Chains A and B, each alone.
Chain A
């Protein structure tokens, strides 16, 4: 099966050198994920990989025209916080680069905020095409560590296969809190703050590193940057921990983002007041541990109603492509449709400092676009065509090739 759109686009645009050219997606139902909402029967004009106009009968007459026939167009979707390009097969450790593990004894904390996992990103991962043909055009690489609560740094990457995939300005520091963090912090979550406090003092202190320090010289430098308004993503679920994290981060000059947040709805007012965003999985409703006894399918709705900015992430790498299903279920449980779309487009772009260039269909934004076969949040809808930075994505992957190899054999067998 070849995508009709893709063949058409390749024929007219001459393949990969298409970025400079202009094309128009004509007559789409455009979900802008911006204050403009949804625009019916609207044209989106793309030139040089960027959206240059939105309106009716927009664009030059020489431009290639793609007739959307009223189909729905959204910004390229956020895949959540994943290990795409850092992990081929989770169970095969030689294919996994997302986790720092010196296998140190517990008393020998390995604090390496200087680690930037983006350097391990492989744009040729088979996961990249498998993910992007489902409309997911970017993700945030989220490192973790086995020997400390500091996972290191990661950035957003575009899933178009480019080698320099990191999106400028999105770099963030990742910290594991709660009971999962306590496991590597001496057995109590209180020690997470104790150790963070120590590291922060080391980072702020001038001069060389003393005996028994947590940080190396490069680590001091890296952590210092986050103490001046840097974005720090704290993975934390328990309501009390969320509040502690927010207060701690603000006291120390960090800009906190809550990841997980299964009990965030219990402290929604405080999160709204401090404008701290939450990246959550709206399907989490089981009390999987004693940090998450308050998990509920209504978490997203309650946070949104309280005015908290929310984005969605399953944290699953091979299944990052299911991000729409998270959003659709949130709608089924009370979240307005527009808020659900924003939670997988514009809000995560804003959270990671990319709002000016990514996450919306607006003039000046990167032309990361998806044309859908129906309601983009519906599980029976598929992506008809995906563009990243104005380039059409070949709607193929290792999985479609596997499918194509076997499907005719199946059809040739005596049909039911």
Chain B
């Protein structure tokens, strides 16, 4: 092995061992845009911290929320937005999106969401499938969504890494990538993996096959990590000896130690395995597990699997039966990301109830989230929450707007590990802000303005300000006959 290739091996070893620190082979190029300060005045604020403040202001500058409160003074050069009778919320966050990986139009050439060729594909990264020109991004923005997690599909037990993006237009996904956001790992319970692989006459074809699959994958990852740990120890030993030898060489002329004459051989690093590397990072807590799981019994099984291998599931997605184990989820500090009312399209969705969100939200330390899993639903996350509020109210589970907004903001931010940066209207947070034409928990509510990092990205004014996908250019020309 020549010196150059040895260096390459060593640097890749450093990458695998140091984990999240060095694991940025596809770094974000997103930059907070410069712009003048904005003062939003006189609105009803739902802060995302559980508070509602009427007749209050939000001051935005340098991409951040500078302050909220009544009677704020506009700094020089600030743009004033009169928001009397308007409502202001943090930008909405959807932690379950397939925009870009299952883009519109839904043609074969853009069908990039499931690497359904093996039940464990922890080596694939959703970002490499994201088509930044998906017109779904701009309609989601119009719905107030400023941050989204894009996941691989649920064909596989372990589908691959997610990517968190800011909902900004870019010619590359790196230009959208949320700087510093941790990766997620998409995993899936139940019917999808067992159907996809069962139909191919391979494992898994049953739920017990599913669980065996997760466990073997993580057992392999433990073994892989042990190999790297051993290598790291041996490398340290080797380096130490080498240093001693170098030290000894200086005194060589007078010291004739026999052992020193023996050739020192460096340890051979294990071969990098991209599947196990990702799973090892999960065990180390650097990658966050988001798991598609409908049934309460399977969620409970997965909590045990996670304990067995020492990793944490941050959120169950879909979680149609989460209401059956709402207390357990809250006690474990696991979020449940849900639809308001989807049910019945497959057996594991048969027990859906419209009170799911309100019931999961009820216990102390709960973390209920509204997610979409849909290019349509992501445009109306506020309406999903509104429906769940109404059904909760009917059974005595009152969720006021200032609490419900957390389902769309603070709670999803927490599940992404971004609660210090987004999800609330607080000084110092990113200025991801939505101005609504009224109470957002109404079918008639529309966004008026959407800011991302303090920059106005959507404005329903006439003419409207909105991004336009390259794909849609020319459409209006084709639509008008000569």
Contacts and interface: CB of A to CB of B under 8 A. Distances in A.
A is bound by B: yes
Contacts of B136: 286
A414 B363 contact: yes
A410 B326 contact: yes
A403 B443 contact: no
Contacts, number: 145
A107 interface: no
B220 interface: no
Which A-B residue pairs are the 10 nearest by beta carbons?
A328-B443, A318-B344, A91-B346, A380-B390, A413-B327, A286-B104, A379-B443, A403-B353, A410-B359, A379-B386
Given A329-B383, A378-B443, 5 more contacts: A90-B344, A91-B345, A266-B479, A286-B136, A415-B364
B135 A286 contact: yes
Contact of B479 (A292, A294, A402): A294
B26 interface: no
Interface residues of A, number: 50
A90 B345 contact: yes
A380 B353 CA distance: 16
> A294, A332, A406, A415 — which one has the most chain B CB atoms within 10 A of its CB?
A406
A90 B346 contact: yes
A277 to B, nearest CB: 22
A382 interface: yes
Contacts of B231: none
Contacts of A331: 443-444
A91 B347 contact: yes
B346 A1 contact: no
Interface stretch (B169-177, B276-284, B391-399, B414-422): B391-399
B355 interface: yes
B354 A319 contact: no
B446 A319 contact: no
Given A287-B105, A288-B104, A293-B475, A411 B376 contact: no
A146 interface: no
Interface size class of B (residues with CB under 8 A): 35 or more
Nearest to B296: A406
Contacts of B178: none
Contacts of A130: 344
B375 A286 contact: yes
A257 B342 CA distance: 29
Interface in B39-55: none
A318 B354 CA distance: 12
Contacts of B365: 416
A303 to B, nearest CB: 15
Contacts of B391: 382
Interface in A87-123: 88-92
A402 B472 CA distance: 45
Given A402-B353, A415-B363, A382 B347 contact: no
A321 B352 CA distance: 14
29 contacts: A1-B395, A89-B344, A92-B346, A127-B344, A286-B104, A286-B375, A288-B106, A290-B105, A293-B475, A318-B342, A318-B343, A328-B444, A332-B444, A379-B386, A379-B443, A380-B386, A382-B390, A382-B394, A399-B353, A403-B353, A403-B355, A403-B395, A404-B395, A411-B362, A415-B363, A415-B364, A416-B362, A416-B363, A416-B364
Contact of A287 (B343, B380, B472): B472
A407 interface: yes
A305 B134 CA distance: 30
B387 interface: yes
B324 A89 contact: no
Nearest to A402: B353
> A292, A293, A329, A381 — which one has the most chain B CB atoms within 10 A of its CB?
A293
Nearest to A384: B394
Contacts of A407: 323, 355, 359, 395, 397
A285 interface: yes
B353 A287 contact: no
A149 interface: no
B208 interface: no
Contacts of B344: 88-90, 127, 130, 317-318
A322 interface: yes
B396 A402 contact: no
A89 B105 contact: no
B345 A285 contact: no
A331 to B, nearest CB: 6
A411 B392 CA distance: 12
B82 interface: no
Contact of B383 (A127, A266, A286, A379): A379
A399 B345 contact: no
Given A294-B475, A399-B354, A406 B323 contact: yes
Given A294-B475, A402-B351, A403-B395, A286 B362 contact: no
A89 B441 contact: no
A377 B191 CA distance: 35
Interface in B459-480: 471-472, 475, 478-479
